[in-house]
Amino acid sequence: MRLGARVGRWGAAVSVLAVAAALLVAVGPAGAGPVRTASGHRWITDDQGRALVLTGLNTASSAKSRPDGLPWIKEGDVQREADALGSNFVRFLIQWRSVEPEPGAYDDGYLDRVAERVRWYGARGIHVMLDLHQDVYGPAVKGNGAPAWATEADGLPVAERGQWELKYIEPGTVRAFDHFWGTRPGGRDLRAHYAAAWAHVAARFADDPAVLGYNLMNEPFGGSVQGPAFEAGPLAALYRQTIDAVRAVDRDSWIFVEPEAVSANWGLPSALPYLPDPRGDGEDARIAYAPHLYPLPMDLGGGYTGDTATWVDRTLASWREQTEKTARRLGAPVLIGEYGLDATLPGAPAYVARVRAMADELGAGTAYWSNDPGSWAPWDQNLRPTALLPVLDRPQPRAVAGDPVAYAWDAESRTLTLSWRPKPGVRGDTEVYLPARSFPHGGLVTGSGVAGAWDSKSRTLHITSGADGAGGTSVRIRPAP
Ligand code: MNI
């Protein structure tokens, strides 16, 4: 988990900063300006063809270490999240060790318990992405994710490190990854097992309406093969194999892929290649791109103030440029699968607001890391709001009945603007979440030929647009008096 002690943890990491700074300069700022979403990547759509703007939390880091492989939540916690944040999405962590405790033997009892939790979300209109999580490979090398039977470290050591990320570069961890990827002579190559495990999970959830899709692997790490050689080589091969295995049992769920974490999290380029979807290409494909966002200046212990804020902003610009580039290559919609920070850092709320504004410009979904009570969460150990809650609980389109052109929330004037173009075959209303903190009496929509209906229970404004909206629809939403 992202533990608190990031400050000063990178004793020997000054050189890392120097290298990364050099790389950021090499990549260059996003000087050419943003590429509009509507002309760039695609949208994740619901069963009515509406574009979904996915917003929610990662749930939860606690699943990594608990013997049962499940997050800490009870059903009441899902209700609390729905009430407090209006989430329409969750990135739900599951563990390979729990799915396949022995080679080829799957624990359907575990998947039943996952399915029970999926129902808690589904009952509240929250779309679920199942994330087969790992950090530092698996428990047998002091990480989480992979089962012990699939961990071959050849007796090499893994020292316990105060800074958990450093366990990635311990000899035993690197060897376990190398054997998984089959990149060492005589190694086992466990990718077929991984793909088969995913096929088992997908077969279980293919017809579950609450499950939107599958995140094939959290924060992939290449062991001794890194960078483009890893992403275009063994990682892409795993993805192709797993996509094919999933599609053999589930034609329609979205499949989310992540880049190599150690570079893309910081805004460096990804070499992930186009991944064909057996269900079809172009508009038919359902492969989505789900990178994480953790600017290095903050990893090194900074908040979002002063010089650090300047460096973070530069990182955000390059992160955005690289993400758009990779998403276009993949023909994929974008979801920021993780972003987050310690709320006690100076400028934390401003950082979250900044990322959310960038996500809106990108047309990307967001899953905040995480829902584990504490200083990184919208609630503390006593489930009382932290400084993050008011900034995470923000007006947001949920579903757009057409092709979104742009949307933005201006906190100062309490105005949400939203425009979209008509798209054939789309049914239903455009839906916008309006929290009580800024819209105590609901919202009023203005725009030519539009009508709004306020549902105070779900705090959702339903917008219908007139028959002739051929040129598109543009609306402004303001608080009702
Ligand atoms: O910060 C990281 C991270 C740093 C370094 C490395 N390597 C050296 C390979 C990999 C990853 N990850 C960010 C967060 N994502 C996980 C969950 O997916 C959180 O627990 C991490 O803090």
Q: What is the pTM of this model?
A: 0.93
Task: Give the residue among 311, 343, 476, 386 at the shortest CA–CA distance from 85.
Answer: 386
Ligand 1 touching residue 221 (CB < 6 A)? yes
Separation of CA 128 and ligand 1 centre (Å): 22
Q: Determine the pLDDT at residue 260.
A: 98
Residue 120: CB partners within 8 Å, gap ≥ 6?
73, 75, 78
Q: Would you say the CB of residue 261 lies under 6 angstroms from ligand 1?
A: yes
Write down the pLDDT at residue 188.
Answer: 85
pLDDT at 301: 82
Own/partner long-range contacts of 103-111 (Cβ < 8 Å, ≥24 apart): 103/149, 103/150, 103/193, 104/193, 104/196, 106/197, 106/200, 108/204, 110/68, 110/69, 111/201, 111/204, 111/205
Q: Which tokens go with 398?
A: 């949920």
What is the total residue count of the chain?
481
| Cβ neighbours for 297, distance < 8 A, ≥ 6 positions apart | 308, 311, 312, 315
Give the mean pLDDT per block of 10 residues along the chain (481 residues). 34 38 37 37 92 98 98 98 98 99 98 99 98 98 98 97 95 98 90 98 98 98 98 98 98 98 97 98 95 93 92 97 96 97 96 98 97 98 97 98 96 97 94 98 96 97 79 95 96
Query: Residue 1 CA: which ligand 1 atom is closest?
Result: 20
CA of 70 to the centre of ligand 1 (A): 20
Exposed / middle / buried, residue 220 (Cβ in 10 Å: 0-12, 13-18, 19+):
buried
Residue type, position 267, single letter: G
- Number of H helices and E strands in the chain, helices first, is 14, 18
Mutation test residue for ligand 1: of 6, 59, 163, 265, the one with most atoms within 8 Å of CB: 265
- Is residue 266 lining ligand 1, measured as CB closer than 6 Å? no
Q: Which domains does the chain have, with CATH numbers?
A: 3-393 (3.20.20.80), 399-481 (2.60.40.1180)
Atom 4 in ligand 1: which residue has the minimum CA distance?
A: 165
Quick: pLDDT tens for 187-204.
888 999 999 999 999 999
DSSP per-residue string spanning 370-399: --SSSTTSSB-TTS-B-TTHHHHS--EEEE
Structural contact between residues 42 and 288, judged by C-beta atoms closer than 8 angstroms: no
- In short, whether 168's Cβ falls inside 6 Å of ligand 1 is yes
Atom in ligand 1 nearest the alpha carbon of residue 340: 14
131 CB within 6 A, ligand 1: no
The response to whether residue 338 sits with its C-beta less than 6 Å from ligand 1 reads yes
Pairing relation of β-strands 211-215 and 127-133? parallel
> What stretches of 289-387 show up as alpha helix (H) in DSSP?
296-299, 306-330, 348-362
Q: What's residue 467's pLDDT?
A: 60
Ligand 1 center–CA 51 separation, angstroms: 30
Name the residue with the closest Cα to ligand 1, atom 14.
Answer: 2
Q: pLDDT tens digit string along 432-447?
A: 999 999 999 999 999 9
Tell me which residue has its CA closest to atom 9 in ligand 1: 262
CA 119 to ligand 1 center in whole angstroms: 29
> Is any ligand 1 atom within 6 A of the Cβ of residue 121?
no
Q: Is 135 touching ligand 1 by the criterion CB < 6 Å?
A: yes
Ligand 1, atom 7: closest residue by C-alpha: 262
Distance 46 CA to ligand 1 centre (A): 30
